[in-house]
C-alpha cells in the first residue's frame, strides 16, 4: 500500500477511498484538474475488461454509479468500472453546441485515465475497453468509437444518436459493436432527430440524427447481415405504459448491432429510477434492466 501511495504522489494522482469500494482519483489532463471514480471488484482474478460509464449532461459520476448499478454487476461478472466526471457536468461529444460552454478535451482525458489504469487497478486489462452512458454520456460513447476506434471494443449508448454534425463524415476504420437503447417519446433526444433539448425551443445543444438512421448507418459501417432477428422484450411491468422490441443484426455469428426500441419510453435508463418527473423526461420503462442487458452484450466481446 505504501508503494502504491508513493506512486500516486509522484505521478500527480491523489486518491480518496469510499466505504463502498469506490476510489476517487484526481489527475491533471490537458492542463486541467480532473477526477474520476474507480471500482475494482474484490478477489484475485486478473485481466478484467474495463467499463467506462459516463453520466448524462448535468449529471455527476457518483449519480451515474448509483443509477447504473455497474459496481454491483462488476462483482458478479468481473469488470473494472471507471466513472469519469465531466467538466461543468458535460462531455465534449462532437456536437456543435454553444450552450454547453467551453469544449474540454475529454478524449485526451480518457486516454490519460486508460494509460495510468494498469497501475491504479492492477486487475484491469486495458486491451478490452467498453463504453456506455445516457444522453450526453451516450453521445460521448459514440464519439469515442469514432475518435478512439482502435481502443473501444464495444459501446452501449442510451438515449443518444450520431450528431447531425457527422451526418456525412461519421465512419469507423474498425467495426465497433453497438447496443443502442432509445425511447420513441424521448422529449430531449428526439427519436426522429432534430435539436437536442426540452420543450419547443432550440437552446443551442446541437442536433442529432434520427435513431433509426444511426442504427442503419452502423449496420452498413460494420458489415452486418441485412436481416434482423426481431423479438419482443417481455412486458414485465404492465403499469409503466411502455413496451420494448429488440432488433439484432449479426456479424461473424455474434449479435453485433442490437437496437432496443422502447415504445412510449422517455429520456430514462430502463430499469433505473424516475430521476425527474414524467412530465419532464417522459416515461421510465421497467420491463428490463438496461445495465444487465449492456453487460450481457459486452460479455460477448470479452477477450478471454
192 in Cβ contact with 210 (< 8 Å): yes
Q: How confident is the model at residue 16 (pLDDT cuts 50, 70, 90)?
A: low
Residue 26, strand partner residues: 14, 35
Residue 1 pLDDT grade (very low, low, confident, very high; cuts 50, 70, 90): very low
Give the global pTM: 0.93
Res 6 pLDDT > 60: no
pLDDT for 104-154, tens place per residue? Answer: 999 999 999 999 999 999 999 999 999 999 999 999 999 999 999 999 999
Q: What is the DSSP string of 155-198?
A: EEEES---BGGGTTT---SS---EEEEEETT-SSS-TT-EE-SS
All structural domains of the chain with their residue ranges: 2-299
Residue 84 grid coordinates: 469519469
**Percent of residues, the chain, with pLDDT higher than 70:** 92
Q: At 39, is the secondary structure helix, strand, or coil? A: strand
Q: How far apart are CA 228 and CA 250, in angstroms?
A: 8
* Confidence check: pLDDT of 18 > 60: no
Digit-coded pLDDT (tens) for 42-72: 987 889 999 999 999 999 999 999 999 999 9
The model's pLDDT over 257-298, given as tens digits with 9 standing for 90+, comes to: 999 999 999 999 999 999 999 999 999 999 999 999 999 999
What is 2-299's CATH number, 3.40.50.300, 3.40.50.1820, 2.60.40.420, 3.30.365.10? 3.40.50.1820
Contact indicator for 152, 145 with CB cutoff of 8 Å: yes
What is the pLDDT confidence band of residue 2, given thresholds at 50, 70 and 90? Answer: very low
**What's the pLDDT score for residue 304?**
66
Angle at CA of residue 125, ends 129 and 60, nearest 5°: 50
Please tell me the distance from the alpha carbon of residue 176 to that of residue 141, in angstroms, as a whole number. 11
Q: CA-to-CA distance for 249 and 255, rounded, in angstroms?
A: 6
* Separation CA 177–CA 168 (nearest Å): 20
Amino acid at each position: 500500500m505504501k508503494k502504491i501511495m508513493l506512486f500516486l504522489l509522484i505521478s500527480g494522482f491523489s486518491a480518496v477511498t469510499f466505504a463502498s469500494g469506490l476510489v476517487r482519483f484526481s489527475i491533471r489532463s490537458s492542463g486541467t484538474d480532473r477526477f474520476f471514480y474507480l471500482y475494482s471488484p474484490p478477489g484475485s482474478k486478473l485481466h478484467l475488461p474495463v467499463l467506462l460509464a459516463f453520466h448524462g449532461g448535468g449529471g455527476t459520476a457518483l449519480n451515474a454509479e448509483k443509477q447504473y448499478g455497474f459496481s454491483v454487476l462488476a462483482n458478479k461478472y468481473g469488470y473494472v468500472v471507471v466513472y469519469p466526471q465531466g467538466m461543468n457536468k458535460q462531455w465534449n461529444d462532437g456536437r456543435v453546441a454553444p450552450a454547453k460552454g467551453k469544449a474540454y478535451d475529454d478524449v485526451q482525458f480518457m486516454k490519460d485515465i486508460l494509460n495510468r489504469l494498469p497501475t491504479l487497478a492492477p486487475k484491469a486489462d486495458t486491451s478490452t475497453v467498453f463504453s456506455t452512458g445516457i444522453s450526453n454520456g451516450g453521445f460521448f460513447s459514440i464519439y469515442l468509437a469514432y475518435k478512439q476506434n482502435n481502443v473501444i471494443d464495444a459501446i452501449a449508448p442510451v438515449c443518444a444518436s450520431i450528431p447531425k454534425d457527422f451526418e456525412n463524415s461519421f465512419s469507423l476504420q474498425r467495426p465497433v459493436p453497438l447496443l443502442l437503447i432509445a425511447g420513441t417519446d424521448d422529449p430531449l433526444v428526439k427519436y426522429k432527430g432534430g435539436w437536442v433539448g426540452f420543450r419547443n425551443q432550440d437552446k443551442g445543444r446541437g442536433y442529432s440524427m434520427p435513431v433509426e438512421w444511426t442504427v442503419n448507418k452502423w449496420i452498413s459501417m460494420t458489415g452486418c447481415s441485412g436481416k434482423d432477428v426481431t423479438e419482443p422484450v417481455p412486458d414485465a411491468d404492465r403499469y409503466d405504459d411502455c413496451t420494448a422490441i429488440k432488433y439484432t443484426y449479426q456479424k461473424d455469428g455474434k449479435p453485433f448491432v442490437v437496437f432496443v426500441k422502447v415504445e412510449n419510453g422517455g429520456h430514462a435508463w430502463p430499469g433505473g429510477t424516475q430521476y425527474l418527473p414524467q412530465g419532464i423526461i417522459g416515461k421510465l420503462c421497467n420491463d428490463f434492466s438496461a445495465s444487465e442487458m449492456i453487460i450481457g452484450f459486452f460479455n460477448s466481446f470479452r477477450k478471454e
